[in-house]
Amino acid sequence: MSKELPKRSEIPVAYTWDLTPIYADDAAWENAVQALAARLPEVARFQGRLGEGPEILAEWLALQAEIEREMGRIVVYAHCQHSVDTRDQAATARYHRAGGLYARVAAALSFVEPELLALGVDTLKTWVEQEPALSLYAHYIDTLARKADHVRSPEVEELLGLLSDPFRSATSTHKVLAEADLEFRPARASDSEEPIPVAQGTIYALMSHEDRMARRTAWESYADAHLAHRHSMANAMATGVKQDVLLARTRRYDSSLAWALGENHIPTAVYHQVIDTYRANLPIWHRYWRVRRKALGHPLAVYDDKAPLSKASPEIPFAQAAEWICEGMMPLGQEYVDIMRRGLLQERWVDVLPNRNKAAGAFSTGSPGTPPLVLMSYSDDIGSLSTLAHELGHSMHSYYAWRAQPQVYADYGIFMAEVASNLNQALVREYLFRTQPDPHFQLALLDEAMANFYRYFFLMPTLARFELAIHEQVENDDALTAEGMMALMLDLFREAYGGEVELDEERVGITWAEFHTHLYYHFYVYQYTTGIAAAQALAERMLKKESGAVEAYTRFLETGSSAYPLDALRATGIDMTSAEPIQQAFDYMAGLVDRLESLV
């Protein structure tokens, strides 16, 4: 590794994403902001008039779609610029201006749902049948009817819309602390005095470094930087949870959990089922830690969770990863692969390399009217290949949904999104198992597979338990403090590791602060577990070449939000109201542990 991460300006253009399909430059973005702000008075022209007849309603819904589409483009452009360099003040200013405009738009549109519900669902359904321009809105009206009890008066809805921007202050404060202000001391390897830079863009690669001292010093540096700001981060987290509780109560839900899942039409029983199935399968994890300890030949610490077991981990340049991912996705058909290959290699969907002050982790973003863009920090290893496959799954899901659906249904929830991302990983992994027979590569693949399951079937369920507990504390009028959250986090990990892994208590306890990109999205993380479970079941059907499996999955990608998430998955043959898919994925994981044990 180099002594210092490059500046953003030093990254070759070929490895940066191309934002010009959204706006040609910052001046064009500015013009779009001004133009959209100028259109908001058009909205007022419809307020109080939606009940005049189906023609007026159709006219309004067309205008709303235009406004939402342009708002999405404005936000995506600003967010992407900010994410690649969080200390770029001009980009930061655009990011916050986009958030402010979003709040104004939300407030301006806030009259719509109360006004439509005041007309009555039966009237709306009749209009949908009568007016051809409204025919596509049948599902939208059904969705509206389902949440009728939780839509408030126009005045309250306007206030809630205006609150969307200031209510981002908790997460943005934590984000700024983590991504712009934290200073990480360099890690060091046992065989070199040269410092290894620790940053949001390098920490995940460092956790799979072959040198144990490098892993340990990187992990300690990362945890200690968060510990140094634990009280500020705890205050931000507590504020975020209080905002969730306030909004849930304002919307007349029994709990924050009921609000979060209810908006996605998911029963709360699904959430509890994830946690219960996870806890029932903890013995598989405890066995895995024992196998890993035997393979490494020393006691396990948390920073050994992703230590490479192969002594010759493959180096995989970005171009090679792109090729293998495309080959691995061939079960989905030539069209799917051609679109993905073009996005990867010609249209620059992916912002590839780490640089100073780049946002943490990896994500896929975009909106109808933009490319489906991926941010990551590629590091020439199998973990980066897997991350790239995962994020491309999201991007391809977006591509298919945006192409097939009108604006009103172009979006889709995380419950569906994590299926597409994990399916990509599962298919690419099985392709590499078949085509790369070298024992070291096979061991590295098992490492990657278990690291993926570690994140989605170990870490995320643990964070889901933590998230539920802190929301229940606030709902019960208990205080959230840094020390209290650290103690809770430690207890959850102590149960999860089952005494098989040594725990540095403070540094394990601060783990919650390291997930600011996840824990402010009210009950988001459990969907990683449901997603990988559904994806594994679908991948197995495709690999067995079951009749209709690929076609059903393609229809799933095209669904967007035109069907409820559980119904969209049922159409592929997967029932996520049952624990069976999660248990089957645990059974598959147990087979990976068996295979690993035979190799080490």
Catalytic positions, written as ranges: 391
Q: Phi first, then psi: give them for residue 452, nearest 5 degrees.
A: -70, -45
> How do 373-375 and 363-365 pair as beta strands?
antiparallel
User: Three-state SS for 24?
Assistant: coil
Contact 524, 367 (CB under 8 A): no
Which of 458, 453, 460 is closest to 525 using CA atoms?
A: 460
Burial of 315: CB neighbours in 10 Å, binned 0-12, 13-18, 19+:
exposed
Sign of CA dihedral 126, 127, 132, 137: negative
Adjacent-strand bridge partners of 351:
375
Token pair for 349: 């969907």
513: amino acid identity, one letter: A
- Rounded to 10°, the helix 282-296/580-599 angle is 20
Contact 388, 343 (CB under 8 A): no
Contact 21, 371 (CB under 8 A): yes
Contact 367, 18 (CB under 8 A): no
How many other C-beta atoms are found inside a 10 Å radius of the C-beta of residue 10? Answer: 10
Between CA 454 and CA 442 the distance in angstroms is: 18
Token pair for 279: 């806890």
Q: How far is CA 157 from CA 100, 186, 247, 275, 282, in A?
A: 17, 48, 11, 34, 44
The DSSP code for 148 is G
Q: How far is CA 563 from CA 133, 212, 526, 555, 569, in A?
A: 19, 48, 21, 11, 10
- Order of strands across the sheet with 350-351? 350-351, 373-375, 363-365
